[in-house]
C-alpha cells in the first residue's frame, strides 16, 4: 500500500514530466497549417474533437469551428454519446477519456497524450481507496469525476462539481453517511453547504489549492468593483470571499449574469476563452496563486492540460496513438455510478 508521502511524490514526478513535455510554440503560419490538416482528418476519420474548458485557446477554437464541443468533463462525454462520429478526440486529461469510453464503449476514444493526468486522479490510487472504503462499510461512496475508472468502479455515485450539492443533499435526506473522494476542499464545501455526515479523502488539485484569500483581497483593493468567481476545489478561505462559487459552466454563467464589469477568477485560466465569448467586453483577472513567476507551482494553469497541443492532436488522428481502453468488467462496474448520476440529473 502506498503512503500519503508516496502518493505526493508520485504526483510531483508526474507534474515535472508534464512540465518537460509541453507542446512546442508555433508561428501563425504553422498553426494554420496544423489546423487545416486536423480539419481534413476529422472528416476523413469520421472523428469529432471534444475539448475541456482548461485546454489551450487554439484547441477550444478548433473544437468550436469543426462542430465539436468545449465543455466540462461530463458534458464532453454526453456530447460524445450524442454525436454520430465513430471516433472521439478527447483533449483534456486521462480520466476524461476514460469517462468517454465508459459511456461510449462502441466508439474509438483517442487522446493527444495519455500522459496527461490529474493530481486528483493520481492522489487517489484504486487499491488504497478500496481499503479506505472497506474500513467504513456503512457509508455511501461518492466520488468526483476526476478519478480513474477503477475508483469509479468502487463508488456508489459519481458526481461533477455542478451536481455534487444536489446528490449529497439527496443522500443526506435519506440519512446516509458518505465517503467523499478525492478533493478535500470540494468535499468540505459540500459538507458545509449540506450538513451531511462525510468522511473526506485527503486529495487536492494543484491548481486550485494555490489560490490564496489574502492575494485575492489585495487584488480587490486595486479593483474594488470586481466580483470574485471561485471553483469549489479551492481552499475554504478562498470560497468564503467569493461572490459566486460553482463548476466551470456555472462560473461562465455567473460572468454573464452578474452586473460587474471586472472579475477575479479562481480557477484554471483556460476558462477565460469561453468567459470572454460569453461576456464580451468584461475583464477577467487571474486570482493570485501561492507565488508569482517561477515561484508558483501551477501558476493558475494545469500542467497536464497544457500537454494538449495541435501537434499531438494531429498525430493521434494520423496514427491512432494514445487510444483509451477500459476493461469490459471494469467498464460495467464504473458505468453504474455514472449512470446513476445521469439518471438523477435527468430527473
Nearest Cα residue to 255 out of 274, 232, 233: 274
CB atoms within 10 A of CB 61: 15
Peptide linkage before 244 cis (omega within 30 of 0):
no
- Could you give the CA distance from residue 306 to residue 333 in angstroms, rounded to a whole number? 31
What are the backbone angles phi and psi of residue 304, rounded to the nearest 5°?
A: -80, -35
Nearest Cα residue to 45 out of 253, 319, 329: 319
User: Which pLDDT score is estimated for 58?
Assistant: 96
- Could you give the CA distance from residue 150 to residue 334 in angstroms, rounded to a whole number? 7
User: Which pLDDT score is estimated for 291?
Assistant: 52
CB 50 within 8 A of CB 88: yes
- Could you give the CA distance from residue 18 to residue 344 in angstroms, rounded to a whole number? 36
Q: What is the DSSP letter of 227?
A: E
CB 91 within 8 A of CB 144: no
CB atoms within 10 A of CB 221: 7
What are the backbone angles phi and psi of residue 7, rounded to the nearest 5°?
A: -65, -45
- Could you give the CA distance from residue 206 to residue 299 in angstroms, rounded to a whole number? 10
For β-strands 177-181 and 198-200, DSSP reports them as: parallel
Q: Say how many CA atoms lie within 13 Å of 63 toward its Cβ.
A: 29
Nearest Cα residue to 128 out of 186, 177, 182: 182
- Cα 22 → chain centroid: 18
The residues of the chain scoring below 50 in pLDDT are: 292-294
**pTM, two decimal places:** 0.92
User: Which pLDDT score is estimated for 194?
Assistant: 97
Residue 79, CA distances (Å) to 65, 100, 103, 228 in order: 15, 9, 10, 30
CB 92 within 8 A of CB 52: yes
SS3 26: coil
CB atoms within 10 A of CB 30: 13
Q: What is the DSSP letter of 84?
A: -
Determine the Cα angle at 189 with ends 188 and 194, to 5°: 100
Where would I find the beta strands (DSSP E) of the chain?
Answer: 47-52, 69-71, 87-91, 108-110, 139-144, 157-159, 177-181, 198-200, 227-230, 244-245, 262-266, 283-286
Q: What is the DSSP letter of 267?
A: S
233 grid coordinates: 476545489
Amino acid at each position: 500500500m502506498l503512503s500519503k508521502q508516496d502518493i505526493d511524490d508520485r504526483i510531483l514526478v508526474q507534474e515535472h514530466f508534464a512540465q518537460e513535455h509541453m507542446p512546442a510554440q508555433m508561428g501563425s503560419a504553422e498553426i494554420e497549417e496544423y489546423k487545416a490538416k486536423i480539419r481534413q482528418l476529422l472528416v476523413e476519420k469520421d472523428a469529432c474533437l471534444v475539448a475541456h474548458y482548461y485546454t489551450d485557446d487554439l484547441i477550444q477554437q478548433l473544437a468550436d469551428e469543426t462542430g465539436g464541443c468545449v465543455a466540462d468533463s461530463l458534458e464532453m462525454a454526453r456530447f460524445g454519446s450524442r454525436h454520430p462520429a465513430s471516433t472521439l478526440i478527447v483533449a483534456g486529461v486521462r480520466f476524461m477519456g476514460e469517462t468517454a469510453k465508459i459511456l461510449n464503449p462502441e466508439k474509438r476514444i483517442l487522446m493527444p497524450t495519455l500522459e496527461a493526468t490529474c493530481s486528483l486522479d493520481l492522489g487517489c490510487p484504486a487499491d488504497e481507496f478500496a481499503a479506505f472504503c472497506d474500513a467504513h462499510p456503512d457509508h455511501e461512496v461518492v466520488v468526483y469525476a476526476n478519478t480513474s475508472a477503477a475508483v469509479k468502479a468502487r463508488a456508489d455515485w459519481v458526481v461533477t462539481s455542478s451536481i455534487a450539492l444536489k446528490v449529497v443533499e439527496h443522500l443526506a435526506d435519506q440519512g446516509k453517511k458518505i465517503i467523499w473522494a478525492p478533493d478535500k476542499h470540494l468535499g468540505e464545501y459540500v459538507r458545509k453547504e449540506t450538513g451531511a455526515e462525510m468522511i473526506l479523502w485527503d486529495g487536492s488539485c494543484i491548481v486550485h489549492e494555490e489560490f490564496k484569500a489574502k492575494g485575492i483581497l489585495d487584488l480587490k483593493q486595486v479593483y474594488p468593483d470586481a466580483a470574485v468567481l471561485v471553483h469549489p476545489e479551492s481552499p475554504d478561505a478562498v470560497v468564503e470571499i467569493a461572490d459566486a462559487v460553482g463548476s466551470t459552466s456555472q462560473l461562465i454563467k455567473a460572468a454573464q449574469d452578474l452586473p460587474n464589469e471586472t472579475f477575479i477568477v479562481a480557477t484554471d485560466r483556460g476558462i477565460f476563452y469561453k468567459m470572454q465569448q460569453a461576456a464580451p467586453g468584461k475583464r477577467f483577472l487571474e486570482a493570485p496563486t501561492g507565488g508569482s513567476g517561477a515561484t508558483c507551482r501551477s501558476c493558475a494553469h494545469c500542467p497536464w492540460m497544457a500537454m494538449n497541443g495541435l501537434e499531438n492532436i494531429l498525430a493521434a488522428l494520423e496514427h491512432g496513438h494514445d487510444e483509451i481502453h477500459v476493461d469490459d468488467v471494469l467498464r460495467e462496474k464504473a458505468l453504474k455510478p455514472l449512470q446513476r448520476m445521469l439518471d438523477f440529473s435527468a430527473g
